[in-house]
Amino acid sequence: MAHHEVDHVSGVTTTGHEWDGIKELNNPLPRWWLYVFYATIVWSFGYFLVYPSWPTLTGYTKGLLGYSQREAALTAVAEGAAARLQAGQGLADATLETIQGDPKLLEFAMANGKAAFGDNCAPCHGSGATGSKGYPNLQDDDWLWGGSLDAIHQTITVGIRSTHEESRISDMPAFGRDGLLERDQIKAVASYVRSLSGLPVPEGADLATGGTVYAENCASCHGEKGEGMAEMGAPNLADAIWLYGSDEKTVVETITNARRGVMPAWDGRLDPVTVKSLAVYVHALGGGS
């Protein structure tokens, strides 16, 4: 293969490299490119001087500025921690109402509450807080124990049928299992309850008996018209929202054996600032007054 062969089309010598008959021309580098290249070399000397650059036997050259990414990161982390501590302290001292009225505290409480919800509550209430059978949806404005800030805070603090000594407690009797009502009475009252929210009832259902059974056994907790009662943690039975399900079989099962869902207490397990944050967060999801 001949070196310094001259390409007869362009008149430029070739490098002698050839692939499948294609030869490489030995063109000089463009001027502008060369100058940029020299400029970067000059620039690098300036850089060596100002910033940490060359390794030495015991460490590295520190540069005139004394800049260190490690130190910059540590400072940023320390500043963040100080800001969080301050915000946390602000939450500890503030009432729930104050937090809601203060945009800065509210922002911090919401972020804190959201994170704590994902860690502690999502396994039962769902990551979107929409609940599932037996685990209430916290997004809707339908509350067993009340949807005010204080009511929600209390529920989270002491739990429901939990081991906390001040736990919210309300035990619906197991009307069938404990022999308080006959099978027919349970069927009748189940139909009656379903009729409250306009659900269809089986042909020949005895709504009159159902109504009487309801007034005598259920109204004390669920209210005269099935509107529910927050002091008893008893759900509204006249709306379209069901904790355990609205079909005939499920309602009969609920009345026969009762449910008595358990919500753990968080007092002592989560610090007060986190519990407050959770109350604010959950209230913002679907709370009311």
* CA–centroid distance for 3 within its chain: 71
Contact 260, 172 (CB under 8 A): yes
Selected binder of ligand HEC within 91, 99, 144, 149 (CB under 6 A)? 144
Is residue 87 a contact residue for ligand HEC (CB under 6 A)?
no
d(CA 92, CA 114): 17
Rank residues 13 and 139 by Cβ distance to ligand HEC and give the closer one. 139
**Binding characters for ligand HEC, 236-275, by CB under 6 A (x = yes):** -x----xxx------x--xx--xxxxxxx-x---------
Q: Report which of 161, 126, 142 is spatially closest to residue 265, judged by C-alpha positions.
A: 161
Q: Report which of 12, 19, 11, 10 is spatially closest to residue 1, judged by C-alpha positions.
A: 19
Rank residues 104 and 133 by Cβ distance to ligand HEC and give the closer one. 133
DSSP 3-state assignment of 35?
helix
Rank residues 87 and 151 by Cβ distance to ligand HEC and give the closer one. 151
Selected binder of ligand HEC within 14, 87, 112, 235 (CB under 6 A)? 235
d(CA 214, CA 216): 5
Is residue 99 a contact residue for ligand HEC (CB under 6 A)?
no
Q: State the DSSP code for 19.
A: E
**For binding to ligand HEC (CB under 6 A), which residues are involved?**
120-121, 123-125, 134-136, 138, 143-145, 152, 155-156, 160, 170, 172-173, 175, 189, 193, 217-218, 220-222, 232-235, 237, 242-244, 251, 254-255, 258-264, 266, 278, 282
